[in-house]
Protein backbone atom coordinates (compact mmCIF):
# COMPACT_ATOMS: atom_id res chain seq x y z
CA UNK A 1 0.00 0.00 0.00
CA UNK A 2 1.24 3.49 -0.92
CA UNK A 3 1.49 5.76 2.08
CA UNK A 4 1.77 5.36 5.77
CA UNK A 5 0.47 2.85 8.32
CA UNK A 6 1.17 3.51 11.96
CA UNK A 7 0.17 1.93 15.27
CA UNK A 8 2.55 2.92 18.05
CA UNK A 9 2.74 3.61 21.74
CA UNK A 10 5.49 5.57 23.40
CA UNK A 11 6.25 7.38 26.63
CA UNK A 12 8.70 10.21 27.27
CA UNK A 13 8.74 11.11 30.97
CA UNK A 14 5.14 11.78 31.96
CA UNK A 15 3.97 12.25 28.35
CA UNK A 16 2.48 9.17 26.79
CA UNK A 17 1.51 8.76 23.20
CA UNK A 18 -0.68 6.19 21.52
CA UNK A 19 -1.36 6.66 17.81
CA UNK A 20 -3.04 4.52 15.22
CA UNK A 21 -3.90 5.62 11.68
CA UNK A 22 -3.25 4.99 8.03
CA UNK A 23 -3.09 7.44 5.19
CA UNK A 24 -2.37 7.30 1.49
CA UNK A 25 -2.72 11.04 0.91
CA UNK A 26 -0.23 12.90 -1.27
CA UNK A 27 0.07 15.38 1.52
CA UNK A 28 -1.01 14.44 5.01
CA UNK A 29 -1.04 17.47 7.27
CA UNK A 30 -0.54 16.85 10.97
CA UNK A 31 -2.02 19.50 13.23
CA UNK A 32 -2.78 19.98 16.88
CA UNK A 33 -1.63 22.09 19.83
CA UNK A 34 1.99 22.17 21.05
CA UNK A 35 2.78 19.09 23.07
CA UNK A 36 0.21 16.96 21.26
CA UNK A 37 2.96 14.75 19.83
CA UNK A 38 3.40 16.07 16.26
CA UNK A 39 7.20 16.23 16.26
CA UNK A 40 7.45 12.97 18.20
CA UNK A 41 5.39 11.34 15.47
CA UNK A 42 7.64 12.49 12.62
CA UNK A 43 10.75 11.63 14.61
CA UNK A 44 9.40 8.12 15.05
CA UNK A 45 8.70 7.82 11.33
CA UNK A 46 12.25 8.98 10.54
CA UNK A 47 13.76 6.64 13.13
CA UNK A 48 15.28 9.40 15.26
CA UNK A 49 13.02 8.19 18.09
CA UNK A 50 12.32 4.50 18.63
CA UNK A 51 8.75 3.91 19.80
CA UNK A 52 8.21 1.78 22.87
CA UNK A 53 6.05 -0.63 20.90
CA UNK A 54 3.99 -0.96 17.72
CA UNK A 55 4.68 -0.88 14.00
CA UNK A 56 5.39 1.66 11.25
CA UNK A 57 5.01 0.86 7.57
CA UNK A 58 6.00 3.17 4.71
CA UNK A 59 4.68 2.37 1.23
CA UNK A 60 4.11 -1.19 2.36
CA UNK A 61 7.62 -1.68 3.75
CA UNK A 62 7.92 -2.28 7.49
CA UNK A 63 10.51 0.06 8.99
CA UNK A 64 9.59 -0.67 12.60
CA UNK A 65 7.84 -3.59 14.25
CA UNK A 66 8.42 -4.25 17.94
CA UNK A 67 6.89 -7.78 17.78
CA UNK A 68 9.10 -8.87 14.90
CA UNK A 69 12.08 -6.93 16.32
CA UNK A 70 12.42 -4.85 13.15
CA UNK A 71 13.94 -1.40 13.51
CA UNK A 72 15.53 -0.06 10.33
CA UNK A 73 18.20 2.52 11.27
CA UNK A 74 17.64 6.15 10.32
CA UNK A 75 20.09 6.21 7.44
CA UNK A 76 18.48 3.23 5.72
CA UNK A 77 14.84 4.39 5.95
CA UNK A 78 14.99 6.63 2.89
CA UNK A 79 13.05 9.39 4.56
CA UNK A 80 13.56 12.99 3.53
CA UNK A 81 13.28 15.24 6.56
CA UNK A 82 12.91 19.01 6.32
CA UNK A 83 13.36 20.53 9.76
CA UNK A 84 11.95 23.80 10.99
CA UNK A 85 15.41 25.37 11.22
CA UNK A 86 16.76 23.99 7.94
CA UNK A 87 19.80 22.40 9.55
CA UNK A 88 22.05 23.07 6.59
CA UNK A 89 25.66 22.01 7.07
CA UNK A 90 27.56 25.21 7.88
CA UNK A 91 30.90 24.00 6.50
CA UNK A 92 29.49 23.18 3.06
CA UNK A 93 28.19 25.54 0.40
CA UNK A 94 24.71 25.27 -1.08
CA UNK A 95 25.75 22.92 -3.87
CA UNK A 96 27.51 20.52 -1.49
CA UNK A 97 24.57 20.65 0.90
CA UNK A 98 22.21 19.73 -1.93
CA UNK A 99 24.43 16.89 -3.09
CA UNK A 100 25.06 15.44 0.38
CA UNK A 101 22.21 12.95 0.29
CA UNK A 102 22.53 12.22 -3.43
CA UNK A 103 25.66 10.15 -2.71
CA UNK A 104 23.48 7.62 -0.89
CA UNK A 105 20.39 7.73 -3.09
CA UNK A 106 19.52 4.72 -5.22
CA UNK A 107 20.54 5.64 -8.73
CA UNK A 108 17.34 4.43 -10.43
CA UNK A 109 15.01 6.48 -8.25
CA UNK A 110 17.17 9.57 -8.01
CA UNK A 111 15.84 12.93 -9.11
CA UNK A 112 18.18 14.92 -11.34
CA UNK A 113 20.17 17.66 -9.63
CA UNK A 114 19.31 20.16 -12.38
CA UNK A 115 15.62 19.34 -12.07
CA UNK A 116 15.58 20.06 -8.35
CA UNK A 117 17.65 23.23 -8.69
CA UNK A 118 15.27 24.55 -11.34
CA UNK A 119 12.19 23.39 -9.49
CA UNK A 120 13.17 25.31 -6.34
CA UNK A 121 14.80 28.27 -8.13
CA UNK A 122 18.23 27.72 -6.58
CA UNK A 123 20.35 28.48 -9.68
CA UNK A 124 21.88 31.68 -8.31
CA UNK A 125 22.56 30.31 -4.83
CA UNK A 126 24.68 27.25 -5.62
CA UNK A 127 28.11 28.63 -4.76
CA UNK A 128 26.97 30.56 -1.69
CA UNK A 129 27.81 29.66 1.88
CA UNK A 130 24.84 28.81 4.07
CA UNK A 131 25.37 31.88 6.26
CA UNK A 132 24.59 34.11 3.26
CA UNK A 133 21.09 32.72 2.77
CA UNK A 134 17.82 34.25 3.91
CA UNK A 135 15.42 32.14 5.96
CA UNK A 136 13.29 31.34 2.92
CA UNK A 137 16.31 30.41 0.82
CA UNK A 138 17.57 28.13 3.58
CA UNK A 139 14.30 26.24 3.62
CA UNK A 140 14.28 25.87 -0.17
CA UNK A 141 17.79 24.42 -0.01
CA UNK A 142 16.72 22.10 2.82
CA UNK A 143 13.78 20.88 0.71
CA UNK A 144 16.06 20.36 -2.30
CA UNK A 145 18.59 18.48 -0.21
CA UNK A 146 15.90 16.15 1.11
CA UNK A 147 14.48 15.56 -2.40
CA UNK A 148 17.90 14.69 -3.82
CA UNK A 149 18.31 11.86 -1.31
CA UNK A 150 15.48 10.19 -3.31
CA UNK A 151 13.20 9.58 -0.33
CA UNK A 152 10.20 7.27 -0.17
CA UNK A 153 8.48 9.80 2.04
CA UNK A 154 9.08 13.45 2.80
CA UNK A 155 8.66 14.70 6.37
CA UNK A 156 8.28 18.43 6.89
CA UNK A 157 8.20 19.63 10.47
CA UNK A 158 6.91 23.21 10.63
CA UNK A 159 9.08 24.17 7.64
CA UNK A 160 7.59 27.67 7.49
CA UNK A 161 7.25 28.43 11.20
CA UNK A 162 10.41 30.51 11.42
CA UNK A 163 9.54 32.67 8.38
CA UNK A 164 7.53 35.86 8.17
CA UNK A 165 4.27 35.91 6.19
CA UNK A 166 5.88 37.26 3.00
CA UNK A 167 8.48 34.48 2.96
CA UNK A 168 5.79 31.92 3.72
CA UNK A 169 3.85 33.10 0.70
CA UNK A 170 7.03 32.69 -1.36
CA UNK A 171 7.51 29.08 -0.35
CA UNK A 172 3.93 27.79 -0.23
CA UNK A 173 3.65 27.52 -4.04
CA UNK A 174 6.81 25.38 -4.11
CA UNK A 175 5.27 23.00 -1.61
CA UNK A 176 2.03 22.86 -3.60
CA UNK A 177 3.97 22.00 -6.74
CA UNK A 178 5.93 19.42 -4.79
CA UNK A 179 2.65 17.82 -3.74
CA UNK A 180 1.17 17.87 -7.24
CA UNK A 181 4.17 17.19 -9.49
CA UNK A 182 6.60 15.00 -7.57
CA UNK A 183 5.17 11.68 -6.60
CA UNK A 184 6.55 11.45 -3.08
CA UNK A 185 4.05 11.33 -0.22
CA UNK A 186 4.50 14.19 2.23
CA UNK A 187 3.79 14.36 5.95
CA UNK A 188 3.49 18.03 6.82
CA UNK A 189 3.44 19.15 10.44
CA UNK A 190 2.01 22.56 11.20
CA UNK A 191 0.04 24.34 13.87
CA UNK A 192 -1.13 26.90 11.32
CA UNK A 193 -4.73 26.12 10.30
CA UNK A 194 -4.51 28.29 7.18
CA UNK A 195 -1.42 26.46 5.88
CA UNK A 196 -2.98 23.09 6.62
CA UNK A 197 -6.20 23.97 4.87
CA UNK A 198 -4.34 25.24 1.81
CA UNK A 199 -1.93 22.31 1.43
CA UNK A 200 -3.49 19.16 2.81
CA UNK A 201 -5.22 16.32 1.02
CA UNK A 202 -5.89 14.75 4.36
CA UNK A 203 -5.70 16.18 7.87
CA UNK A 204 -4.61 14.32 10.98
CA UNK A 205 -5.38 16.15 14.21
CA UNK A 206 -3.52 15.09 17.35
CA UNK A 207 -4.44 15.86 20.93
CA UNK A 208 -2.60 14.81 24.09
CA UNK A 209 -0.70 12.09 22.26
CA UNK A 210 -3.72 10.50 20.59
CA UNK A 211 -5.49 10.81 17.23
CA UNK A 212 -8.34 13.27 17.61
CA UNK A 213 -9.49 12.97 14.00
CA UNK A 214 -8.32 12.07 10.52
CA UNK A 215 -10.31 13.24 7.53
CA UNK A 216 -10.05 14.41 3.94
CA UNK A 217 -9.51 18.13 3.49
CA UNK A 218 -12.21 19.91 1.56
CA UNK A 219 -10.10 22.52 -0.24
CA UNK A 220 -13.05 24.37 -1.76
CA UNK B 1 72.38 32.10 15.45
CA UNK B 2 71.72 30.29 18.67
CA UNK B 3 71.34 27.16 16.58
CA UNK B 4 74.81 27.70 15.04
CA UNK B 5 76.48 27.77 18.43
CA UNK B 6 74.89 24.53 19.63
CA UNK B 7 77.13 21.54 20.24
CA UNK B 8 76.36 18.34 18.30
CA UNK B 9 74.82 16.68 21.35
CA UNK B 10 72.61 19.73 21.93
CA UNK B 11 71.45 19.60 18.32
CA UNK B 12 70.74 15.91 18.85
CA UNK B 13 68.68 16.75 21.93
CA UNK B 14 66.69 19.34 19.97
CA UNK B 15 66.07 16.97 17.05
CA UNK B 16 65.11 14.07 19.36
CA UNK B 17 62.67 16.36 21.15
CA UNK B 18 61.10 17.53 17.89
CA UNK B 19 60.94 13.99 16.48
CA UNK B 20 59.52 12.45 19.66
CA UNK B 21 56.92 15.21 19.99
CA UNK B 22 55.93 14.97 16.34
CA UNK B 23 55.33 11.23 16.48
CA UNK B 24 53.71 11.48 19.91
CA UNK B 25 51.16 13.89 18.42
CA UNK B 26 50.77 11.99 15.14
CA UNK B 27 49.99 8.66 16.79
CA UNK B 28 48.16 10.14 19.77
CA UNK B 29 45.77 12.30 17.74
CA UNK B 30 43.54 9.58 16.18
CA UNK B 31 43.08 7.87 19.56
CA UNK B 32 42.45 11.21 21.24
CA UNK B 33 39.76 12.08 18.67
CA UNK B 34 38.11 8.69 19.09
CA UNK B 35 38.07 8.91 22.89
CA UNK B 36 36.95 12.54 22.83
CA UNK B 37 34.07 11.54 20.53
CA UNK B 38 33.06 8.63 22.76
CA UNK B 39 33.21 10.80 25.89
CA UNK B 40 31.29 13.64 24.22
CA UNK B 41 28.56 11.65 22.52
CA UNK B 42 27.86 8.49 24.51
CA UNK B 43 26.75 7.75 28.04
CA UNK B 44 27.58 4.26 29.26
CA UNK B 45 28.63 2.48 32.46
CA UNK B 46 32.30 3.23 32.88
CA UNK B 47 32.05 6.68 31.24
CA UNK B 48 33.33 8.35 34.39
CA UNK B 49 36.10 5.81 34.81
CA UNK B 50 37.29 6.25 31.22
CA UNK B 51 37.33 10.01 31.72
CA UNK B 52 39.39 9.64 34.90
CA UNK B 53 41.87 7.22 33.31
CA UNK B 54 42.39 9.55 30.34
CA UNK B 55 43.06 12.48 32.65
CA UNK B 56 45.30 10.54 35.02
CA UNK B 57 48.62 11.57 33.37
CA UNK B 58 47.61 15.18 33.95
CA UNK B 59 47.43 14.78 37.74
CA UNK B 60 49.80 11.90 38.51
CA UNK B 61 53.40 12.82 39.28
CA UNK B 62 55.10 12.34 35.87
CA UNK B 63 57.67 10.09 37.50
CA UNK B 64 54.83 7.69 38.39
CA UNK B 65 53.68 7.56 34.77
CA UNK B 66 57.27 6.95 33.67
CA UNK B 67 57.75 4.22 36.24
CA UNK B 68 54.49 2.52 35.24
CA UNK B 69 55.70 2.57 31.63
CA UNK B 70 58.98 1.02 32.74
CA UNK B 71 57.06 -1.68 34.63
CA UNK B 72 54.83 -2.55 31.67
CA UNK B 73 56.98 -1.84 28.61
CA UNK B 74 60.52 -2.21 29.90
CA UNK B 75 62.55 -4.94 28.23
CA UNK B 76 62.19 -7.23 31.23
CA UNK B 77 58.45 -6.64 31.58
CA UNK B 78 56.26 -9.31 29.92
CA UNK B 79 54.49 -6.90 27.57
CA UNK B 80 57.70 -5.10 26.60
CA UNK B 81 59.48 -8.41 25.95
CA UNK B 82 56.54 -9.74 23.93
CA UNK B 83 56.47 -6.61 21.74
CA UNK B 84 60.17 -7.00 21.05
CA UNK B 85 59.99 -10.68 20.08
CA UNK B 86 56.81 -10.42 18.01
CA UNK B 87 57.25 -7.12 16.21
CA UNK B 88 60.73 -5.84 17.02
CA UNK B 89 59.26 -2.84 18.82
CA UNK B 90 61.39 -1.57 21.68
CA UNK B 91 60.45 1.44 23.79
CA UNK B 92 62.80 1.38 26.74
CA UNK B 93 65.93 3.50 26.41
CA UNK B 94 65.05 4.48 22.83
CA UNK B 95 63.73 7.71 21.39
CA UNK B 96 60.51 5.83 20.59
CA UNK B 97 60.04 5.46 24.35
CA UNK B 98 60.49 9.20 24.72
CA UNK B 99 57.77 9.64 22.08
CA UNK B 100 55.46 7.23 23.92
CA UNK B 101 55.98 8.92 27.30
CA UNK B 102 55.47 12.35 25.76
CA UNK B 103 52.39 11.13 23.91
CA UNK B 104 50.80 9.78 27.06
CA UNK B 105 51.48 12.99 28.96
CA UNK B 106 50.07 15.12 26.14
CA UNK B 107 47.05 12.86 25.55
CA UNK B 108 44.66 14.40 28.12
CA UNK B 109 45.25 17.89 26.77
CA UNK B 110 44.43 16.81 23.22
CA UNK B 111 41.34 14.90 24.36
CA UNK B 112 40.06 17.92 26.30
CA UNK B 113 40.45 20.32 23.37
CA UNK B 114 38.83 17.93 20.89
CA UNK B 115 36.03 16.96 23.26
CA UNK B 116 35.06 20.60 23.87
CA UNK B 117 34.84 21.27 20.15
CA UNK B 118 32.80 18.12 19.52
CA UNK B 119 30.42 19.04 22.34
CA UNK B 120 29.95 22.44 20.72
CA UNK B 121 28.60 20.83 17.53
CA UNK B 122 24.82 20.83 17.16
CA UNK B 123 23.89 17.11 17.22
CA UNK B 124 20.84 17.96 15.11
CA UNK B 125 23.19 18.48 12.15
CA UNK B 126 24.38 14.90 12.58
CA UNK B 127 20.77 13.69 12.78
CA UNK B 128 20.00 15.60 9.65
CA UNK B 129 22.89 13.84 7.84
CA UNK B 130 21.54 10.47 9.02
CA UNK B 131 18.12 11.21 7.55
CA UNK B 132 19.83 11.95 4.22
CA UNK B 133 21.04 8.35 4.16
CA UNK B 134 24.60 8.73 5.46
CA UNK B 135 26.00 5.86 7.52
CA UNK B 136 26.97 6.99 11.06
CA UNK B 137 30.68 6.50 10.27
CA UNK B 138 30.29 8.71 7.21
CA UNK B 139 28.41 11.29 9.28
CA UNK B 140 31.34 11.34 11.68
CA UNK B 141 33.86 11.81 8.85
CA UNK B 142 31.96 14.41 6.83
CA UNK B 143 30.07 16.39 9.50
CA UNK B 144 31.49 15.89 12.99
CA UNK B 145 35.19 15.87 12.10
CA UNK B 146 35.23 18.96 9.84
CA UNK B 147 33.14 20.95 12.33
CA UNK B 148 35.49 19.93 15.17
CA UNK B 149 38.56 20.87 13.14
CA UNK B 150 39.44 24.06 15.04
CA UNK B 151 39.55 22.10 18.29
CA UNK B 152 41.49 19.27 16.69
CA UNK B 153 44.14 21.60 15.30
CA UNK B 154 44.42 23.55 18.55
CA UNK B 155 44.59 20.31 20.54
CA UNK B 156 47.27 18.84 18.31
CA UNK B 157 49.52 21.88 18.59
CA UNK B 158 48.95 22.17 22.33
CA UNK B 159 49.75 18.46 22.66
CA UNK B 160 52.90 18.93 20.61
CA UNK B 161 54.04 21.75 22.88
CA UNK B 162 53.28 19.69 25.97
CA UNK B 163 55.18 16.71 24.53
CA UNK B 164 58.14 18.96 23.82
CA UNK B 165 58.26 20.00 27.47
CA UNK B 166 57.84 16.51 28.91
CA UNK B 167 60.57 15.64 31.39
CA UNK B 168 59.64 13.49 34.39
CA UNK B 169 58.01 10.53 32.66
CA UNK B 170 60.57 10.56 29.86
CA UNK B 171 63.67 10.55 32.04
CA UNK B 172 62.18 7.84 34.27
CA UNK B 173 61.20 5.60 31.38
CA UNK B 174 64.04 6.06 28.87
CA UNK B 175 66.71 7.78 30.98
CA UNK B 176 68.92 10.58 29.65
CA UNK B 177 71.27 9.11 27.05
CA UNK B 178 72.85 11.80 24.81
CA UNK B 179 72.13 11.11 21.15
CA UNK B 180 69.47 8.50 21.91
CA UNK B 181 66.95 9.59 24.54
CA UNK B 182 68.24 12.95 25.69
CA UNK B 183 65.55 15.53 24.95
CA UNK B 184 65.76 19.29 25.27
CA UNK B 185 64.46 19.33 28.87
CA UNK B 186 66.74 16.50 29.97
CA UNK B 187 69.74 18.21 28.33
CA UNK B 188 68.89 21.37 30.27
CA UNK B 189 68.62 19.30 33.43
CA UNK B 190 72.05 17.74 32.77
CA UNK B 191 73.63 21.17 32.38
CA UNK B 192 72.19 22.35 35.66
CA UNK B 193 73.94 19.43 37.37
CA UNK B 194 77.47 20.31 36.23
CA UNK B 195 79.75 23.28 37.06
CA UNK B 196 79.66 26.11 34.50
CA UNK B 197 76.54 24.62 32.94
CA UNK B 198 74.44 27.79 33.33
CA UNK B 199 75.40 29.33 29.98
CA UNK B 200 74.58 26.29 27.83
CA UNK B 201 71.47 25.62 29.91
CA UNK B 202 70.21 29.15 29.27
CA UNK B 203 70.82 28.75 25.54
CA UNK B 204 68.59 25.67 25.48
CA UNK B 205 66.03 27.37 27.70
CA UNK B 206 65.69 30.16 25.15
CA UNK B 207 65.17 27.61 22.37
CA UNK B 208 62.53 25.85 24.45
CA UNK B 209 60.70 29.13 25.11
CA UNK B 210 60.80 30.14 21.44
CA UNK B 211 59.45 26.78 20.21
CA UNK B 212 56.70 26.69 22.83
CA UNK B 213 55.56 30.23 22.10
CA UNK B 214 55.63 29.59 18.37
CA UNK B 215 53.47 26.49 18.90
CA UNK B 216 50.93 28.42 20.96
CA UNK B 217 50.75 31.24 18.43
CA UNK B 218 50.38 28.72 15.62
CA UNK B 219 47.63 26.95 17.54
CA UNK B 220 45.66 30.17 18.01
CA UNK B 221 46.19 31.30 14.42
CA UNK B 222 45.18 27.95 12.92
CA UNK B 223 42.10 27.70 15.09
CA UNK B 224 41.05 31.20 14.04
CA UNK B 225 41.66 30.49 10.36
CA UNK B 226 39.71 27.25 10.36
CA UNK B 227 36.89 28.88 12.27
CA UNK B 228 36.52 31.78 9.85
CA UNK B 229 36.61 29.37 6.93
CA UNK B 230 33.82 27.29 8.44
CA UNK B 231 31.65 30.28 9.27
CA UNK B 232 32.01 32.03 5.91
- The answer, yes or no, to whether residue A88 has pLDDT greater than 90, is yes
pLDDT of residue B230: 57
Q: Is residue B72 part of a domain?
A: yes
For A42-79, how does the pLDDT look when each residue is reduced to its tens digit (9 = 90+)? 999 999 999 999 999 999 999 999 999 999 999 999 99
Structure confidence at residue A27 as a pLDDT band (50, 70, 90): very high
Q: What are phi and psi of A6, to 5 degrees?
A: -140, 135
Report yes or no: B128 and A146 within 8 Å, Cβ to Cβ. no
- The answer, yes or no, to whether residue B92 has pLDDT greater than 90, is no
Q: Where are the beta strands (DSSP E) in chain B?
A: none
Supply the CATH number for residue A186's domain.
3.40.50.300
Contact residues on chain B for A104, CB-CB shorter than 8 A: 132-135
Residue with the bigger pLDDT between B165 and B219: it is B165
Contact residues on chain B for A79, CB-CB shorter than 8 A: 131
Instruction: Please state, rounded to an integer, the average pLDDT across all residues of chain B.
Output: 90
Domain that holds residue B188: 8-231
Domain that holds residue A90: 25-49+73-216
Find all residues with CB under 8 Å of A129, minimum gap 6, and list them: A90, A93, A94, B232
- B123 in contact with chain A, both atoms CB, cutoff 8 A: no
Closest-CA residue of chain A to B149: A91
Nearest CB to A100; choose among B122, B129, B232: B129
Whether A75 and B130 lie within 8 Å, measured CB to CB: yes
pLDDT of residue A190: 93
Contact residues on chain B for A73, CB-CB shorter than 8 A: 130
Q: Is residue A56 part of a domain?
A: no
Supply the CATH number for residue B209's domain.
1.10.3720.10
- The answer, yes or no, to whether residue B223 has pLDDT greater than 90, is no
Nearest CB to B134; choose among A75, A87, A91: A75
Cβ pairs bridging A and B (under 8 Å): 67
For chain B, the C-alpha Rg in angstroms (whole number) is 20
Q: Is residue B58 part of a domain?
A: yes
- The answer, yes or no, to whether residue B232 has pLDDT greater than 50, is no
Q: Is residue A60 part of a domain?
A: no
Whether A83 and B128 lie within 8 Å, measured CB to CB: yes
Q: Is residue A33 part of a domain?
A: yes
Report the percent of chain B where pLDDT is more than 90.
Answer: 70
Report the percent of chain A where pLDDT is more than 70.
Answer: 97
Mean pLDDT of the region A120-140:
91
pLDDT of residue B3: 55
For A158-174, how does the pLDDT look when each residue is reduced to its tens digit (9 = 90+)? 999 888 888 888 889 88
Q: Is residue B176 part of a domain?
A: yes
Structure confidence at residue B90 as a pLDDT band (50, 70, 90): confident
Neighbouring C-beta atoms of residue A109, cutoff 10 Å: 11
Structure confidence at residue A40 as a pLDDT band (50, 70, 90): very high
Q: Is residue A199 part of a domain?
A: yes
Q: Is residue B1 part of a domain?
A: no
Which has the closest alpha carbon to B101: B187, B211, B176?
B176
Closest-CA residue of chain B to A129: B232
Report yes or no: B163 and B103 within 8 Å, Cβ to Cβ. yes
- The answer, yes or no, to whether residue A122 has pLDDT greater than 80, is yes
Whether A48 and B131 lie within 8 Å, measured CB to CB: yes
Nearest CB to B133; choose among A105, A129, A131: A105
Return the SS3 of A215: strand
Contact residues on chain B for A131, CB-CB shorter than 8 A: 231-232
Closest-CA residue of chain B to A97: B129
Report ipTM (2 d.p.).
Answer: 0.90
Q: Is residue A93 part of a domain?
A: yes
Structural domains counted in chain A: 1
Report yes or no: A182 and A116 within 8 Å, Cβ to Cβ. no
Contact residues on chain B for A89, CB-CB shorter than 8 A: 125, 128-129, 143
Structural element, H or E, at residue B127: helix B123-131
CB crowding A49-81: b at 16 or more within 10 Å, else e: bebeebbbbbbeeebbbbeeeeebebbebbbbb
Contact residues on chain B for A90, CB-CB shorter than 8 A: 125, 147, 230-231
CB crowding A111-130: b at 16 or more within 10 Å, else e: beeeebbebbebeebeeebb
Structure confidence at residue A93 as a pLDDT band (50, 70, 90): very high
- B125 in contact with chain A, both atoms CB, cutoff 8 A: yes
- The answer, yes or no, to whether residue B88 has pLDDT greater than 90, is no
Structural domains counted in chain B: 1
Nearest CB to A89; choose among B125, B130, B133: B125
For B38-59, how does the pLDDT look when each residue is reduced to its tens digit (9 = 90+)? 999 999 999 999 999 999 999 9
Q: Is residue A87 part of a domain?
A: yes
Q: Is residue A5 part of a domain?
A: no
Closest-CA residue of chain B to A154: B131
Whole-number Å distance between alpha carbons of A116 and A143: 9
Instruction: Please state, rounded to an integer, the average pLDDT across all residues of chain A.
Output: 90
Closest-CA residue of chain A to B228: A91
Q: Is residue B2 part of a domain?
A: no
Amino acid sequence: MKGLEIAVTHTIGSFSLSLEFRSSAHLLAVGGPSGSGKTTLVNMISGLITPHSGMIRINGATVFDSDKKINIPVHKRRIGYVFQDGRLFPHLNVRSNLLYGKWFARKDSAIEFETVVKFLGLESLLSRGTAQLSGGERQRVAIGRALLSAPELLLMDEPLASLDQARKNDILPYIERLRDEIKIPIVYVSHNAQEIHRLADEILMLKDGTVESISANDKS
Amino acid sequence: MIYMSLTPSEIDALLISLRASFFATLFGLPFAILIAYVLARFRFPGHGLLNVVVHLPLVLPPVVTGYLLLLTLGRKAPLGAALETCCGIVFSFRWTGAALAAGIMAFPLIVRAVRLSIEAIDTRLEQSALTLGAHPVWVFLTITLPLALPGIVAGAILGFAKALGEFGATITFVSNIPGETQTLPSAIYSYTQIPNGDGPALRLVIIAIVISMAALFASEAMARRVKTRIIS
